Structures are given as structure tokens and as C-alpha cells.
């Protein structure tokens, strides 16, 4: 594994290589995300953050506390408040009181929300399959191994 584009000197310091890797990672990830965001809006009339919240709720039929949603999605608390407010107004989610703790709420998908999410999730998976169609099973496995290694080196991830 010593091949490299002709314009990158082998004597490049490792810090430059790491920087180059990060910029590539950011660009690649951003391209895919941009395409997903575009389709979410155009074809489903929703946004990635909403989809992410619904996705988290769909995996927890018993409901999730607000703080648990923000922890899982790695976004701030206040952020989730606004998104759940909207989903609630639309009858997609609802807040259920937690017996014995009047501070907290459990957020759940309504039946309507479950139905909508199932549709959206199917479309989402099909889009990813389409966008990543150029990667075969070996490509996917190889990339996944690299990412797991990288992710392991990011402490506390």
C-alpha cells in the first residue's frame, strides 16, 4: 500500500497526510449528505434532522427521554426540543409523562408516525443503495474496516 497520486511527495509529513485525509473524508461525507438532504426535501418533504429523530424513536417503541435522543444523535438538548415540538404538532410524535419524575418526558412515535417513518426508511435505504451502488460487497467491507479502525482511535466515541 505505498501507491499515491504523482503530485503528493512521499516525503510529506504525516500531519499533512492526516489533514489531506480529513479534508477528503469531509468532502465525501458531505457530498452524500447533500444528496440525501436534497431528496428528503424534494421527494419526502422532510429534513435529515427530522428523519434522524424519527429513526431514533422508531428503534425505541417504549419511548425515549429528550436527553437520550440528543445523546444518541449527538446534538444539543435545545435542538431536540424544537424538532420534537414540530413532530408533535404534526401528530407524528407525542410526549408521555414519566411516572415518578415530573421533569422528564418519554417521546414516542404515534401510529401515524410509525407508518410515515416506515415509508421514509424504505426510501432512505434505497437511496443509499443507489448512491453507493459503485461499491461492491468487498469494497463496503474494506471501507467499513477502515472506518471502524479510525473510529476506534477517536477516544470516547
Partner DNA sequence: CTTTAATATTTTAAGCTTGAAGTAAAATTG
Partner DNA sequence: CAATTTTACTTCAAGCTTAAAATATTAAAG
- Residue ranges that bind DNA, judged by CB under 7 A: 34, 37-38, 41, 47-50, 65-68, 74-86, 95, 100-105
Angstrom distance (rounded) from CA 63 to CA 53: 12
CB of 151 to a copy of itself, least distance (A): 5
- Residue with smaller CB distance to a copy of itself, 12 or 85: 12
3-class secondary-structure state, position 34:
helix
CB of 90 to a copy of itself, least distance (A): 25
Angstrom distance (rounded) from CA 45 to CA 52: 14
C-alpha distances (whole Å) from 145 to each of 85, 142, 148 are 38, 5, 5
- Residue 2 neighbours by CB under 8 Å, 6+ apart: 10
Residue 24 found at the interface with a copy of itself (CB under 8 A): yes
Residue 97 found at the interface with a copy of itself (CB under 8 A): no
> Which region, judged by CB under 8 A, interacts with a copy of itself, from 17-25, 77-85, 86-94, 106-114?
17-25
CB of 90 to DNA, least distance (A): 10
Amino acid at each position: 500500500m505505498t501507491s499515491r497520486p504523482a503530485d503528493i511527495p512521499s516525503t510529506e509529513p504525516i500531519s499533512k497526510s492526516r489533514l489531506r485525509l480529513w479534508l477528503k473524508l469531509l468532502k465525501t461525507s458531505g457530498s452524500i449528505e447533500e444528496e440525501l438532504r436534497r431528496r428528503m426535501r424534494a421527494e419526502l418533504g422532510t429534513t435529515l434532522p427530522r428523519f434522524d429523530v424519527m429513526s431514533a424513536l422508531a428503534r425505541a417503541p417504549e419511548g425515549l427521554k429528550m436527553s437520550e435522543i440528543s445523546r444518541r444523535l449527538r446534538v444539543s438538548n435545545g435542538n431536540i426540543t424544537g424538532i420534537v415540538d414540530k413532530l408533535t404538532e404534526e401528530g407524528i410524535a407525542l410526549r408521555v409523562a414519566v411516572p415518578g419524575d415530573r421533569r422528564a418526558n418519554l417521546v414516542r412515535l404515534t401510529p401515524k408516525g410509525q407508518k410515515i417513518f416506515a415509508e421514509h426508511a424504505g426510501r432512505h435505504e434505497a437511496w443509499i443503495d443507489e448512491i453507493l451502488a459503485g461499491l461492491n460487497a468487498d469494497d463496503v467491507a474494506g471501507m467499513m474496516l477502515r472506518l471502524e479502525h479510525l473510529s476506534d482511535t477517536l477516544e470516547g466515541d
